[in-house]
Amino acid sequence: MSPELARAESLIASIPDYPQPGILFRDIMPLLADARALRATTAALIEPFAGSFDIVAGIEARGFILAGAAAIAAGVGFAPIRKAGKLPRPAAAVDYALEYGTATVEMHDDLPTGTRVLLIDDVLATGGTLAAGRQIVERLGYHVAGISVLFEIDGLGGREAIGDLHTVFHSA
């Protein structure tokens, strides 16, 4: 791991019992506030997929930030995957389970059929959010060129639910 990535990883804070008891929340805001750390993690998120995607899709909310930075770094556009009720004209919706509840994501159908999408989110835990993101991208006729996350929480089954993906950091 490069010194920049090691430093970026050290900036991720662990907050116990947030948003509810038993959940260990990973706060990436200190990483995002550091230009060198953000640049290094953005490069690491897209590097394995260079040249294989036309657009970056990010899952609300922190996935937006990372995907937006990745889209700029790669010279491509950004497509949001939003929580239910946040888009003025959703084209598709997918319900999914979280480790502490359920949710729905929505996405517009503004892209040409077959668009190659790099799907980015901040955390892979149980895999529900990313599985819903992949499902909605495919439902709209786009191709998932890859999935990349900032970090994976090992032992929660996310990798088994998602399959092949790129992870910058691992967390116990």
One-letter amino acid at 136 equals I
Q: How many folded domains does the chain comprise?
A: 1
In the prediction, which pLDDT does 172 show? Answer: 52
**Average pLDDT score over the chain:** 92
Share of the chain above pLDDT 70, in %: 98
In the prediction, which pLDDT does 157 show? Answer: 87
Q: Which domain holds residue 130?
A: 48-171
Give pLDDT tens digits for 58-83. Answer: 999 899 999 999 999 999 999 999 99
For residue 16, being part of any structural domain is answered with: no
99 among known catalytic residues: yes
For residue 139, being part of any structural domain is answered with: yes
Cα end-to-end distance, the chain, whole Å:
17
Out of 26, 62, 82, 134, the active site residue is 62
- Check which CATH number belongs to the domain holding 56 and give it: 3.40.50.2020
From 69, 21, 64, select the one nearest 46 (Cα to Cα): 69
- Cβ-contact 54, 74 below 8 angstroms: no
Out of 99, 116, 138, 159, the active site residue is 99
Whether the model clears a pTM of 0.95, i.e. scores above it, the answer is no
